[in-house]
Structure 1
Amino acid sequence: MIRQFFKKKAHLLFILLSANTINAQWIKQESGTDASFRSIHAISKKVVWAGGSKGTVLRTTNAGATWQVIKVSGAEKLDFRDIYGVNEKVAYIMSAGLAEEGAAKVFKTSDGGNTWKVVLEYKDKGVFFDSMDFWNEKEGILIGDPIDDKPFILRTLDAGNTWLRINKEKLPPVLEGEASFASSGTCVAIQPNGRAWLNTQSRIFFTSDKGETWQVYQTPFKKGQTAGIFGLHFWNENQGIAVGGDYKNDKEKIDNVAITHDAGKTWEFLPTAKPDGLKESGWRLPNKSLLLVGTSGTSLLGEDGGTPPEPEWKAIDTESFHAISCFKDACWAIGGKGNLAKWK
């Protein structure tokens, strides 16, 4: 939040969906809460964590057959904008801010959500957390809105017990008004061997060594106070997508998804994902199709005519979801007022 494939090599990226996926759709699940959710993490086909408003966390250990509603003690006024599950017992949740209001915090549980410990807290004015991710159970990274004209990036190397800001002298300067959107918990994308991509509205900050060195790359997204990139997803060390739009004009036709084949150095817009409008989070399924969600609805690429050279998007619905997470072909999406669904 800001305080408040491309036709090239298409044949390598798009195939028709398998028969059992062509008719796939979102099937609603009972969340048991009216909290608003902007973060979800599927760590297996059975275990999923989600973080939301009013200090609320959801957890399932049975593939969504039932969901446990967890209220984090002392966090009743906090809005959890990102979550990372290590396993069914261990998870991290991130409250974005404002820091000066005591709301920029990261909590950790080691007992399945029964108890939570604050492992990171900032109270300095201007600090606002946007997104986080982990390479493994000990090493993770977090991005916040820029401070002192430099990206605000934190790193942990000891399972979240301590977090240190990456030396700003190692980082490129930010542009005027540049920041990220804490809208889906997907402003950070991780791949093995120390790779991480962090997005602002129109640029990508990349590290190949867990934050020791950085490059910055331009995307075709236009930077705006309410517009730009809202989320990233990489499925290998070279290929990924960036999704976005404008949250104040979230049904407007706009370029809303771009792809990279070279680890983020260059990006190219795909055809506009249908239904038109804002896309906040996306995923590449095992059958190579792309599934995107946002307040404008769900988009699927790879079906009915989605073969090269002119891939076409299918508008699945106009249901509003903020975030998506998948483990292989098991996907969940989540949004406002406890809106929760599984892809079947």
Structure 2
Amino acid sequence: MQHSTKSRQRRNRTISYHALVRLCLSFPKGICVLLESPKLLAIFIFTLTLTIHAQAQWDIEDSHTTASLRGINSVGGGVAWASGTNGTILRTEDGGFVWQLCAIPPGAEKLDFRGIQAFDANTAIVMSSGKGDLSRLYKTTDGCQTWKLIFTNPDKEGFWDAIQFNDRNFGVLLGDPVDGKFVIMLTFDGGQKWEKQTLKSTADINGEGAFAASNSSLLLSSTNYRSFGTGGPGGSRIITVGSGPTDTYQQDVSKTKKLPWSSGQYADQLPTHLRTASSGVFSIAEAQHGMGRVAVGGDYQKPDDRIDTAWHYDVAHYDEVTHSFWVAAHTPPHGFRSAVAYDAQQKLWITVGPNGTDISRDDGRNWTALKPRKEDAPDADKNWNALSLPFVVGPNGRIGKLRPTALKP
């Protein structure tokens, strides 16, 4: 494992006394009298801090790699893992001040690690995406010094899209259709053994597939239900698989037709007009305790197009005609979005993509752009692939960390 030479010293974000003196001199006459009163000075500093951070968002971290990053998993306590092209795996133990370049798993130098699930500073499972045996799982238990190959895609026509765990033992793996059915693999022992879950009536429609853009096209809920988004020229769906071995529910995001009802399944159409190989649902997330779900996506070949880029699940707005609880955002994000996450502390949603970052304070109904500060790089809000708060990753080794005050009203 190689260690970064980057200093561990935190960037100084406090406002020095001398800086305040220089700053107050730029204000109208009389403001500098605040410096003579400790109480007024404290109020001034507090107000100034709020003003400075009103548009703050991502602190850009030094990853020491140019790999395209699509996997990110923050496990808390300052520990997070990231993954990407050319067998790249990164780890931080200090909240992102130092990102360590991990050892590349044997034979994985050309693999594209699209997803990673970590359990602590020492243990993680990384997933590569590719046709057939280019889709693999590796596991480390010694802080990424060594890796063990634990599973290889048994389907030569298969392609893995996402991997999620609810705890150290139970995990779910999502793959594109093989023989007309999406692949769901389950593990109950932390990834040592995997078994295929039997799905009912999930045949792909005209080139339908899932997206391996952010490791978040698959949602593993707190109650172990599995939902995943799809896309393609035949339309898009959100398919929900129950916690039982064969329970399946389909929510068709195609606006033009209804799926037949059958035992253990229902059809729920989510409004979208997108019908291309590059469009669909790219990411699904839920709020705490399953109270609220949001999906984002669009057409990645049209990153500035706002049409059909976000939906929210609303049980109060069931459509008898389309049989749908999914509602398109009233004010959508400002373009294609590849990842969405819920911030439990601020009680809001955040979504990212190649052309910007948006937030929603009303459960996905309306989205507003989160812009960088004047002193930030002009593209600090852009060129992102995946989210695991407070971290975000993107192409060319981009890693950002959300500033604590960025999402405050």
- TM alignment of 1:169-208, pairs within 5 A: 170-201=200-231, 202-208=236-242
Unpaired segments of 5 or more residues in structure 2?
1-49, 253-269, 319-323, 373-380, 404-409
Q: Secondary structure at the match of 1:319?
A: coil
Match of 2:354 in 1: 295
Q: Secondary structure at the match of 1:198?
A: strand
2:120 alignment partner, one of 79, 87, 90? 87
Match of 1:166 in 2: 197
Answering whether residue 193 of structure 2 is matched by residue 141 of structure 1, we say: no
1:107 alignment partner, one of 131, 138, 150? 138
Q: Is the strand fraction higher in 1 or 2?
A: 1
Match of 2:371 in 1: 316
Tell me, yes or no, if the aligned pair for 2:312 and 2:363 is still in contact at 8 Å.
no
Q: CA deviation at 1:270?
A: 1.1
Equivalent position amino acid for 2:382 in 1: E
Q: Tell which deviates more after alignment, 234-243 or 43-52.
A: 234-243
Q: CA deviation at 1:81?
A: 0.5
Match of 1:220 in 2: 271
Q: Distance in 1 between matches of 2:355 and 2:244?
A: 34
Return closer, same or farther for 1:266/1:144 CA change in 2, 3 Å cut-off.
same
Return closer, same or farther for 1:273/1:30 CA change in 2, 3 Å cut-off.
farther
Return closer, same or farther for 1:211/1:86 CA change in 2, 3 Å cut-off.
farther
Q: Distance in 2 between matches of 1:103 and 1:335?
A: 22
Equivalent position amino acid for 1:313 in 2: T
Equivalent position amino acid for 1:250 in 2: P
Tell me, yes or no, if the aligned pair for 1:156 and 1:163 is still in contact at 8 Å.
yes
Tell me, yes or no, if the aligned pair for 2:114 and 2:129 is still in contact at 8 Å.
yes
Answering whether residue 91 of structure 2 is matched by residue 59 of structure 1, we say: yes
Q: CA deviation at 1:262?
A: 4.3
Q: Secondary structure at the match of 1:151?
A: strand
Q: CA deviation at 1:65?
A: 1.2
Unpaired segments of 5 or more residues in structure 1?
1-18
Equivalent position amino acid for 2:347 in 1: K
Equivalent position amino acid for 1:164 in 2: E
Q: CA deviation at 1:106?
A: 0.8
Q: How many residues align?
A: 314
Q: Distance in 2 between matches of 1:44 and 1:68?
A: 17
Q: Distance in 2 between matches of 1:104 and 1:309?
A: 33
Q: Distance in 1 between matches of 2:230 and 2:348?
A: 25
Q: Distance in 2 between matches of 1:210 and 1:52?
A: 33
TM-score, normalising length: structure 2: 0.72
- What are the Cα deviations for residues 56-115 of structure 1, in whole angstroms up to 9, with x where unaligned? 11111111111111132321100000111111111111101121xx31101111111111
TM-score, normalising length: structure 1: 0.85
Tell me, yes or no, if the aligned pair for 2:55 and 2:370 is still in contact at 8 Å.
no
Q: Distance in 1 between matches of 2:368 and 2:308?
A: 13
Match of 2:109 in 1: 76
Equivalent position amino acid for 2:357 in 1: T
Equivalent position amino acid for 1:279 in 2: R
Answering whether residue 307 of structure 2 is matched by residue 254 of structure 1, we say: yes
Match of 2:282 in 1: 230
Match of 1:31 in 2: 63
Q: Secondary structure at the match of 1:193?
A: coil
- What are the Cα deviations for residues 125-167 of structure 1, in whole angstroms up to 9, with x where unaligned? 3110000101211111111110111111111111100111112
Equivalent position amino acid for 1:69 in 2: L
Q: Secondary structure at the match of 1:31?
A: coil
Return closer, same or farther for 1:270/1:89 CA change in 2, 3 Å cut-off.
same
With a CA cutoff of 8 Å and minimum separation of 6, indicate the structure with the bigger relative contact order: 1
Return closer, same or farther for 1:153/1:133 CA change in 2, 3 Å cut-off.
same
Tell me, yes or no, if the aligned pair for 2:242 and 2:249 is still in contact at 8 Å.
no
Match of 1:280 in 2: 338
**Percent same amino acid among aligned pairs?**
30
Equivalent position amino acid for 1:138 in 2: N
Q: Distance in 1 between matches of 2:54 and 2:313?
A: 26
Runs of 4+ in 1 over 6 A off after TM superposition: 307-310
Q: Secondary structure at the match of 1:59?
A: strand
Equivalent position amino acid for 2:290 in 1: E
